[in-house]
Structure 1
Amino acid sequence: MPLETRTQDYSTATQGSVFLITSDGRTLQLPIPSQSQHDPLTWSKWKRFRALCAISVFTVVGLVQVQGTSLLLDELEHEYNAVEIAPLRVDTLSSVPCIFWGIGALTWVPLSLVIGRRPVFLICTILLTFSTYLAAVSQTFYVHLLARCLQGTAGAISPSTMILTVIEMNFIHQRPRYIASFWCLTTVFSNVGLAVTPYILSLGTWRSFYWIWLGPCALTIFLALFWSPETYFERPAMAFDGHILSQAENGRVKVYSKWEDVPGGKPMPDTPHTWKTSNIIKNIIFWNRTKMGGWPAMKAFPRQLIICLFNPLIFWVLILNAFIFGSMVVTLATYVEVLMAPPYNFSFNAIGLVKFSPAIGALVAFPVSGFLTSWMVQRLARGNKGVREPEHYLPSFIVPVLTSSSSLCLFGVAMDRHWSSIWILVLVGVNYFSAISIFTANTLWVTEAFPRWAAPAIVVVGAGGYAVSFGLSTGIFGWIQSQGLSATYIELGMVTFAVGLVGLPINFWGKQCRQYIYKRWGDNDDQ
């Protein structure tokens, strides 16, 4: 579409629709990178690798800390008296981080709009290290519980602010691969870490788990200081194709005919990078080289959060994520008890080794949710005259919805009829594959369909989904008592499939709904 010479605002009807592929088959590099050395899209491959490595190591350590306590419950039951800790149970130590993942996401994302992604990352590394130390030295159940809450809060940066970090470091057409690789590979390595937990316990008591992982926690502080630059970058207006483009981080794109019309005028040229001691020190301490949204952004955040919460296109994803992620949490807790009971009679060390099953499931999710999604979106965009619509990501929901619902139903049957332990392990791996794949699909859909509200949308899907999944994992015990283990899993699989079917009408009417939402609420946005 030719650009007109008068100022235009492409923030409503075209929100989320991107001209991605040219007539000669080239994939455009969008957003258009600036000439600034602080623009993450202009970083070298080594600098981008270091940044991704820093957040990935933290995510692996955080996931091990959040999930590892489930393998300590047998020893913890001998540590704490059930009567003294009533009405709470020992397994509360295992489940409570889920709800604090939600609370943490509500905290870190708006805070990162004020002070930056990097300072928030550094705060979380310090908090995770402190909480792990607190868990290791705790002498009472409630101090241990406080440490677990803090661990969940610190780890909440991974499915929220860190996802925004990955998005900011990559072009639009690269995001499916990088989001999938980040979440899949960190899950693989975290499950490998969980697999060695029984051998760590053989070195001493349950405190050994926290003491040994305290070292990697401290390492994340070093990586946050030296390997993790700020990724939030407000791109200045730039000349492009005979016009002047102003690209805002909230998705608003304006085209001007002359520099006099641009707010702030022509930007000053970026200062060349010099290797001075002062510059190195500034990169280590709390230092942000680009203007953040500030307190106005935080002030606007609650309103945007409410809009996203009641947005049917996002609310559907929240519920779907809650059921699939919640089912994964319940399954990971259930299959340990099943395999340690007759007729399987697995030893505690063998239970640790079966953690390789979720790791394999997460590894398989990488090509499916990453490369297959990228190929599919490119193909659909070519068939749409080069324009990529957010609805092109919806087919990526099909596989995880089918595999999650079917694996849950089969898992219930397998436990009821005492199928071979191989079936149990395969179905657990498939369930994990579904959870990782759906998380990638959720992230791409909500951030690309509503780029202006990407941050609050991530919080709604993450915080809301994990909070609901905590309720599901807590309340399912009553469900199991009334329906039985097998019937509960079959019903859970059927409900998951029914929620997934909501994606069909969204595929047909999603674009019209997006346009209406932006026209109704987007024009009055404070950002």
Structure 2
Amino acid sequence: MDEKAFVDATQVENGPSAHQAIKIDGEVVLVSDSTVQRIPVASADPNDPLNFSKWRKMGIMITTCWFSIFSLLSLAGLGSFFNTLFHLYGADHTPDQIVGLSTYPTMLMAVGCLVLLPIAMVIGRRPVFIISVLVCLICYITAGTSQTFSQHFISRIFIGIATGAVESLLPLIIADVTFLDERGFYFGIYWSTQNCVSSGILIGLPYLIADAGWRWFYWLFVITMAISFIFAFFLLPETKFARLPITLSGKTIHTDEFGHTMVLDNEEALQRFGHIDADEHTPEPKRTYLQELKPWSKITPNAFKVWCGAYIKIGKAFTSPAVIWALLLSSISLGIGIAVSFVYSVVLEVSYKWSPGSVGLFNVGIIPASFLAMAYSGWFGDKMNLWLAKRNGGVHRPEHQLVNLIFPCLAGVVGLVAIALPANSPEQYSAWGMLIGWAIFQFSFTSIIITTTTFAAEVIPENPGAAIVCVVGGKNLVSFGASQGIIPMVSKYSYLTAFMILLGILIGICLLGIPVYFLNRKWRKATAKEIQT
């Protein structure tokens, strides 16, 4: 990679030096003389995922979005026919056990995250993703043919583990092929498409189940997951890429296996890596399309060390106050959403006399809400980050992402109140209150997921992949308490009291974001000093 190529890639010829471009504490000179820099630095290798064509990246986005939509929908969609499941299994199982068909697999997505991502660091993203698709496909078949509650439950447990790829591996794949200044936009497409398409299908699912029976819930996903396998095999190349340290003009540029880019003095690089490679790297020949179809990749050198190191880095990520806070915020948002999905069909059928087939219309507002969330947290969020960077002398701080969460947090509060009141007092309020409140809350939830994912990808500069696992994957484990607790709370209290308890927790976590905004920068500075020493 010659010097001109590097200057063109980073676009800092009239701005700060390369060493100033990326600080070890995570602050980035994102804007220099009104020019947005492309970080991380793409290599001259034609196989570098950052150098993929737009068409290749579009295929990757289609593949990741397709799997995420239908795997997550197979977990969340059970709420659309809980009454059927109560009639089917109610004689031998408690309501909590039946609800567990949805909550336990969702919780075990966190286990999938912890298992799948470190393996993907060693053997590659592509083979792990293909295996996840095949596991889901097989388990949809076994769930659809199950004859007992236990068979149904075990099938869904493995579906939950395999779906863990959605919230660890797939965001990492997207990070592999995108630059920092555009990542929020791509994450916005990823998360918003999930909600938008899922809501449309949720509208029709009750009609399908009412007409053809509950087993067709799984036959639908058998078909869509077979298509997902075709997409994964033909459209998703391996995105794991070993970026060798590059020496240029007295500096060393290095991006590690987690996607973190550092620009160091050569002396610092010698201490860190033990060697510095030459300026000129001979890139491998461009892989042909047929070569990219190979379902396995080269095992990472020092595989066991990388595998163990991934878990060590995940543990260290939990020392960040920002990671813990982002995890709590995304968890309570998800938990409330799951809790609402448990009760809405019962409320609409019993209190508002809706037919079982029509309860899916409750989700119609998610479609515009998802588009709004994508526009707000994707396009507008990136613009806000650039504006805040310009106000900060061109320097982007990870905490700038938290400013984008103010409006979604307020929307979440309004939406939950709008749901709780009609659910508790149907004689006083219209069902439209629940529908509008659900749309508002889904805007809040989707915006929070987009922003906390983007935030996690940069809040710990030396461990972005580990932070993504903690925030995006861990939320399924933490949200289990909120979602699993709604049934006993409703039984003991009322819909209003149960949802107000969740509202109080939501408000408390949102307010904790204020001290995190100011304190996390001190944590980053302290961590950077430890790394440098």
TM-score normalised by L of structure 2: 0.90
Report deviation, 1:405. Answer: 1.9
| Mapping for residues 199-278 of structure 1, pairs under 5 Å | 199-238=207-246, 240=248, 243-248=251-256, 249-256=259-266, 262-266=275-279, 268-273=281-286, 275=288
1:259, 1:448 → 2: CA distance? Answer: 21
Question: CA deviation digits over 1:187-223, x for unaligned, max 9?
Answer: 2112212222123224422112212321111111111
Q: Does 1:43 align with 2:52?
A: yes
2:122, 2:52 → 1: CA distance? Answer: 23
Q: Does 1:177 align with 2:190?
A: no
Match of 1:317 in 2: 326
Q: Is contact 1:104-1:156 (8 Å) kept? A: yes
| Mapping for residues 402-421 of structure 1, pairs under 5 Å | 402-418=410-426, 419-421=429-431
2:252, 2:313 → 1: CA distance? Answer: 29
- 1:256 alignment partner AA: N
2:173, 2:499 → 1: CA distance? Answer: 36
Q: Is contact 1:323-1:496 (8 Å) kept? A: yes
| Mapping for residues 97-112 of structure 1, pairs under 5 Å | 97-112=105-120
Report deviation, 1:314. Answer: 1.1
Of 143-152 and 332-341, the range deviating more from structure 2: 332-341
Within the candidate set 151, 169, 173, 1:161 is matched to: 169
Report deviation, 1:135. Answer: 0.5
Report deviation, 1:289. Answer: 6.6
Q: Does 1:489 align with 2:499?
A: yes
Match of 2:353 in 1: 345
Corresponding residue SS for 1:31: coil
Match of 2:204 in 1: 196
Residues 274/115 of structure 1: CA separation in 2 closer, same or farther (3 Å cut): closer
2:112, 2:158 → 1: CA distance? Answer: 9
Q: Is contact 1:332-1:428 (8 Å) kept? A: no
Question: CA deviation digits over 1:378-435, x for unaligned, max 9?
Answer: 0011111111111111101111211112222332223333311111101011111111
2:238, 2:86 → 1: CA distance? Answer: 44
Residues 322/245 of structure 1: CA separation in 2 closer, same or farther (3 Å cut): closer
Residues 475/417 of structure 1: CA separation in 2 closer, same or farther (3 Å cut): closer
- 1:270 alignment partner AA: P
Q: Is contact 2:251-2:264 (8 Å) kept? A: no
Question: CA deviation digits over 1:2-46, x for unaligned, max 9?
Answer: 659xxx8999x63211111112x1111111111112211111111
Report deviation, 1:351. Answer: 0.9
Match of 1:502 in 2: 512
- 1:187 alignment partner AA: N
Corresponding residue SS for 2:386: helix
Residues 94/2 of structure 1: CA separation in 2 closer, same or farther (3 Å cut): closer
Residues 387/432 of structure 1: CA separation in 2 closer, same or farther (3 Å cut): same
Within the candidate set 459, 465, 470, 1:449 is matched to: 459
Q: Is contact 1:77-1:90 (8 Å) kept? A: yes
Q: Is contact 1:191-1:359 (8 Å) kept? A: yes
Match of 1:56 in 2: 65
Unpaired runs of at least 5, structure 2: 1-14
Question: CA deviation digits over 1:147-196, x for unaligned, max 9?
Answer: 11111112111121111111111110001111011110122112212222
| Mapping for residues 117-136 of structure 1, pairs under 5 Å | 117-136=125-144
Corresponding residue SS for 1:82: coil
1:499, 1:268 → 2: CA distance? Answer: 48
Of 381-390 and 454-463, the range deviating more from structure 2: 454-463
2:16, 2:413 → 1: CA distance? Answer: 47
1:488, 1:241 → 2: CA distance? Answer: 62
2:90, 2:340 → 1: CA distance? Answer: 26
Report deviation, 1:263. Answer: 2.8
Match of 2:8 in 1: none
Match of 1:435 in 2: 445
- 1:32 alignment partner AA: V
Number of residue pairs the alignment of both structures matches: 512
Report deviation, 1:73. Answer: 2.5
Match of 2:5 in 1: none
1:220, 1:231 → 2: CA distance? Answer: 18
Q: Does 1:400 align with 2:408?
A: yes
Corresponding residue SS for 1:72: helix
Match of 1:284 in 2: 293
- 1:374 alignment partner AA: D
Unpaired runs of at least 5, structure 1: none
Report deviation, 1:292. Answer: 6.4
Match of 1:22 in 2: 32
Corresponding residue SS for 2:439: helix
Report deviation, 1:266. Answer: 4.6
1:34, 1:195 → 2: CA distance? Answer: 46
Of 128-137 and 298-307, the range deviating more from structure 2: 298-307
Report deviation, 1:241. Answer: 5.9
Report deviation, 1:437. Answer: 0.8
- 2:350 alignment partner AA: A
2:476, 2:528 → 1: CA distance? Answer: 27
2:246, 2:319 → 1: CA distance? Answer: 36
Q: Does 1:425 align with 2:435?
A: yes
Report deviation, 1:373. Answer: 0.7
2:67, 2:38 → 1: CA distance? Answer: 29
Residues 78/509 of structure 1: CA separation in 2 closer, same or farther (3 Å cut): closer
1:464, 1:290 → 2: CA distance? Answer: 27
1:274, 1:514 → 2: CA distance? Answer: 39
Of 393-402 and 453-462, the range deviating more from structure 2: 453-462
Report deviation, 1:242. Answer: 6.8
Corresponding residue SS for 2:405: helix
